[in-house]
């Protein structure tokens, strides 16, 4: 890597473009790995939910508060982390996150009380924020211009790949050696892998390759350069060029934040309760994790398709979001009528996975279009706060109704209603943009 970087200045602009383009895809793959061990690790929470409830002699609703801790800490720390993501700091911040992840998984695997377990979740949540979605999104947006949608989709594929690989692996480790060794192995392997990759291969932006890109003109761009083609109206452009203190006056900021806040809430609730729901239908933990893996595989295809469509239909990303939300409203509603495990469960899981996966790259893509790359970290960090009013009551409430009624219908009918709410927010934003 070092020799390639040093030699770029000595070759032709065409050759330099090829070198930077190849390295740029490597950057996208590194960010994919960060999502795999970051947000993707949330997918295994449901695997450990029942064993932890048994170990500490508490109900599902009480143990699900661990996910509430994760969400609360992540949301509250995201604005601060987004503001800290300045040039020259991002790599150091991400490296510190990998070290904290190793420490937190060690604490979790050794926990002897709920208090220690909660402390480990706080540490783990902060570690995910330090190396996860926000810094990765900023890096991708600094590397890519024309192919940003595909690059963001490639990055987000890490969550889907984790979704169909980590739950079965975690379930196998759980049944083979118990939850403590399983957590420790997952955590140490993940943190060590990320530490080495970040340390030796991560570059924050194309300028790190020791060549200005003004003469290259490829799909990449220098740090802070404005998009070559802006699809915003004159009034929106004037608004977005204003000081950051006027961000709160933007209706798009609030509507997009609320829409994705609801989407991400439903996705988190799904990841917490879906495996226990499948077990209630008579499936084993391994069979349930395999079906969750199908959702992850479908999400992978959804991310690829939406990333390509976002680049092809530039300026229509919100319309793509509306289509995905309509699919999610209908599929979650149909799931509420399922009483036993049938082929319909498999079909609905595939539909939900593809549509939910497609929403992941759209959030940074839409934010980049509306608010600019220079403010992407700040906006994404602030948007994390929009999760709180929805997810804090949703996770324990679903657990409460499950414990009291033994039925998971509230999960799916409630999820369908939440997706309908997010669709209305996005539709309002689309009308305002038009």
Q: Is the pLDDT of residue 218 over 70?
A: no
Question: Averaged over 209-232, what is the pLDDT?
Answer: 41
Which tokens go with 373? 């790359």
The answer to whether residue 432 scores a pLDDT higher than 50 is: yes
Report helix, strand or coil for 313. Answer: coil
**What pLDDT sits at residue 119?**
93
Is 60 exceeded by the pLDDT of residue 1? Answer: no
Give yes or no for residue 9 having a pLDDT over 50: no
Q: Which residue reads 């996150």 in tokens?
A: 97
Pair 51, 173: CB distance under 8 Å: no
pLDDT digits (tens, 9 = 90+) for 419-430: 999 999 999 988
What CA–CA distance (Å, rounded) separates 209 from 19?
Answer: 10
| pTM of the model as a whole | 0.70
Task: Say yes or no to pLDDT of 367 above 60.
Answer: yes
Specify the pLDDT at position 208: 63
- Least confident piece of the model among 66-70, 287-291, 430-434: 430-434
| 113 phi/psi in degrees, rounded to 5 | -150, 165
Most confident of 30-44, 288-302, 353-367: 353-367
pLDDT at residue 268 greater than cutoff 90? no
Distance CA 280, CA 282 (A): 5
Q: Residue 186: is its pLDDT beyond 80?
A: yes
pLDDT classification of 217: cutoffs 50, 70, 90: very low
For residues 330 and 312, the model is more confident at: 330
CA dist 84 to 96, 201, 207, Å? 13, 22, 19
pLDDT of res. 105: 92
Per-residue model confidence (pLDDT) at position 22? 54
Percentage of the chain modeled with pLDDT above 70: 85
pLDDT recorded at residue 244: 56
Cβ neighbors of 332 (< 8 A, separation 6 or more) are: 266, 352, 412, 413, 415, 416, 419
Mean pLDDT is highest, among 68-77, 82-91, 170-179, 202-211, for 170-179
pLDDT at 122: 93
First to last CA, the chain: 45
Alpha-carbon gap, residue 16 to 11, rounded angstroms: 6
Q: Which residue has the higher pLDDT, 339 or 173?
A: 173
Task: Tell the CATH topology of 2-433.
Answer: Growth Hormone; Chain: A; (1.20.1250)
> Which pLDDT score is estimated for 23?
65
Q: Which of 66, 424, 119 is nearest to 271 (CA)?
A: 66
**Per-residue burial over 58-95, b = 16 or more CB atoms within 10 Å of its CB, e = otherwise:** eebbbbbbbbbbbbbbbbebbbebbebbeeeebbebbb
DSSP, res 338: -
| Mean pLDDT for the chain overall | 80
Which range is least confidently modeled, 160-164, 183-187, 299-303, 363-367? 160-164
* Between residues 117 and 4, the one the model is more confident about: 117
d(CA 67, CA 268): 8
The mean pLDDT value for 237-244 works out to 50
Nearest CA to 103 out of 82, 124, 84 is that of 124
All residues at 6 or more sequence positions from 426 whose CB lies less than 8 Å from its CB, including other chains: 255, 256, 259, 318, 321, 322, 325
Tell whether the model's pLDDT for residue 397 goes beyond 50. Answer: yes
pLDDT for the residue numbered 226: 36
Residue 80: CA count within 13 A, CB half-sphere: 9
Structural contact between residues 144 and 308, judged by C-beta atoms closer than 8 angstroms: no
Reported as a pLDDT band with limits 50, 70 and 90, residue 232 is very low
Span 393-417, average pLDDT:
84
CB-CB contact of 265 with 359 (8 Å): no
Name which of 140-154, 174-188, 414-428 the model is least confident about. Answer: 140-154
């Amino acid at each position: 890597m070092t020799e390639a970087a040093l030699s770029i200045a000595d070759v032709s602009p065409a050759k330099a473009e090829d070198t930077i383009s190849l390295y740029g895809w490597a950057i996208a793959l590194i960010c994919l790995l960060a999502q795999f061990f970051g947000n993707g690790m949330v997918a295994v929470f449901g695997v450990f939910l029942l064993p932890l409830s048994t170990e500490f002699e508490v109900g599902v609703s009480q143990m699900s508060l661990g996910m509430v801790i994760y969400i609360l800490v992540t949301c509250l720390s995201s604005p601060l982390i987004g503001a800290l993501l300045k040039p020259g700091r991002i790599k150091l911040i991400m490296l510190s996150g990998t070290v904290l992840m190793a420490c937190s998984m060690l604490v979790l695997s050794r926990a002897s009380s709920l208090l220690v377990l909660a402390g480990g979740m706080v540490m783990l949540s902060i570690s995910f924020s330090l190396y996860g979605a926000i810094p990765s999104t900023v890096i991708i947006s600094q590397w890519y211009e024309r192919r940003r949608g595909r690059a963001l989709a490639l990055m987000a594929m890490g969550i889907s790949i984790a979704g169909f690989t980590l739950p079965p692996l975690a379930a196998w480790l759980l049944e083979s050696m118990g939850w403590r060794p399983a957590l420790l192995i997952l955590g140490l392997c993940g943190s060590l892998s990320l530490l080495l990759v970040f340390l030796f291969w991560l570059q924050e932006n194309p300028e790190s390759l020791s060549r200005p890109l003004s003469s290259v003109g490829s799909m990449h761009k220098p740090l802070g350069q404005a998009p070559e083609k802006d699809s915003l109206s004159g009034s929106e452009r004037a608004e977005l060029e204003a000081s950051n203190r006027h961000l709160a006056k933007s209706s798009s900021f609030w509507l997009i934040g609320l829409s994705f806040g609801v989407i991400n809430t439903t996705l988190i609730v799904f990841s917490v309760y879906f495996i226990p729901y499948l077990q209630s239908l008579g499936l084993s933990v391994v069979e349930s994790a395999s079906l969750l893996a199908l959702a992850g595989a479908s999400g992978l295809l959804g991310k690829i398709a939406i990333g390509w469509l976002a680049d092809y239909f530039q300026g229509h990303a919100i319309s793509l979001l509306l289509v995905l939300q309509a699919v999610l409203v209908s599929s979650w509603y149909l799931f509420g009528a399922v009483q036993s495990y049938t082929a319909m469960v498999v079909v609905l899981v595939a539909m939900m996975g593809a549509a939910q996966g497609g929403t992941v790259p759209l959030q940074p893509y839409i934010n980049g279009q509306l608010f600019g790359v220079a403010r992407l970290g700040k906006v994404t960090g602030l948007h994390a706060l929009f999760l709180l009013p929805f997810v804090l009551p949703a996770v324990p409430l679903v657990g409460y109704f499950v414990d009291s009624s033994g039925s998971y219908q509230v999960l799916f009918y409630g999820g369908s209603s939440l997706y309908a709410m997010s669709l209305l927010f996005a539709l309002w934003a689309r009308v305002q943009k038009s």
